[in-house]
Structure 1
Amino acid sequence: MILKKKAFIEELNGVQSINGTVSFQGVNLNVFCYVTDGVLIDTGGESLHKQFAPFLLEQDYDQAWITHHHEDHTGGAAFIQKTRNIPVYIHNMSIEEVLGKADYPIYRQLFWGRRKSFKALPLSNTMKSRNANWEMIETPGHSDDHLAFLNQQTGQLFTGDLYVNPKTKVTMQSESIPTIIESLKTVLTYQFGDVFCQHAGLVSNGREMIIHKKEYLEEIQYQVLKLHSEGYSKKEIQLSLFPKKYPITLFSSGDWDSIHIVESVLFEGN
Structure 2
Amino acid sequence: MIEVFERENVTCGKVQISIAGQKANPVFVFIVDGMLIDTGPERAEASLIPFYENYSFELVTLTHSHEDHSGTAPWIEKNRNVPIYVHPNGIEICAEPYPYPLYRQLTWGKREAFTAVPLGDTIQSRSREWEVIYTPGHADDHVSLFNKETGQLFSGDLFVHPETKVIMNTESIPVIMDSIRKLLTYDFDSMFCCHAGFIQNGKKVLKEKLENLENLTGEVKEFYQQGLSLEEINAKLFPKKYPIITISEGEWDSLHIVSSIIAEFQ
Q: Output the TM-score relative to the length of structure 1.
A: 0.95
The one-letter code of the counterpart of 1:87 is P
The one-letter code of the counterpart of 2:3 is F
Root mean square deviation of aligned Cα: 1.2
The one-letter code of the counterpart of 2:9 is G
Q: Are the equivalent residues in 1 in contact too, given 2:162–2:212 (CA < 8 A)?
A: yes
- Are residue 23 (structure 1) and residue 18 (structure 2) matched? yes
Distance 1:93 1:167 in 2: 27
Q: How does 1:126-165 map to 2 (within 5 A)?
A: 126-165=122-161
2:175 aligns to what? 179
1:219 aligns to what? 215
SS in structure 1 of the partner of residue 58 of structure 2 = strand
Q: In the TM superposition, what is the alpha-carbon distance from 1:153 to its structure 2 partner?
A: 1.6
Distance 1:125 1:188 in 2: 18
Q: In the TM superposition, what is the alpha-carbon distance from 1:29 to its structure 2 partner?
A: 2.7
Q: How does 1:23-102 map to 2 (within 5 A)?
A: 23-24=18-19, 25-102=21-98
Q: In the TM superposition, what is the alpha-carbon distance from 1:232 to its structure 2 partner?
A: 1.1
The one-letter code of the counterpart of 1:184 is I
Q: Are the equivalent residues in 2 in contact too, given 1:170–1:256 (CA < 8 A)?
A: yes
CA displacement 1:84-141 (0-9 Å, x = unmatched): 1111111012112212223111110001111111111111101111111110001000
Q: In the TM superposition, what is the alpha-carbon distance from 1:60 to its structure 2 partner?
A: 1.6
Residue among 224, 249, 256 paired with 2:252: 256
Residue among 107, 110, 116 paired with 1:114: 110
1:203 aligns to what? 199
Q: In the TM superposition, what is the alpha-carbon distance from 1:68 to its structure 2 partner?
A: 0.4
Query: Which stretches of structure 1, 4 residues or longer, exceed 3 Å deviation after superposition?
Result: none
1:7 aligns to what? 2
Q: Are the equivalent residues in 2 in contact too, given 1:170–1:258 (CA < 8 A)?
A: yes
Figure out how many residues of one structure are paired with residues of the other and give that number: 265
Deviates more, 1:162-171 or 1:6-15: 6-15
Q: Which runs of 5+ in 1 are unaligned?
A: 1-5
Q: Which runs of 5+ in 2 are unaligned?
A: none
Distance 1:201 1:27 in 2: 16
Distance 1:167 1:84 in 2: 38
Q: In the TM superposition, what is the alpha-carbon distance from 1:27 to its structure 2 partner?
A: 4.7
Distance 1:226 1:40 in 2: 44
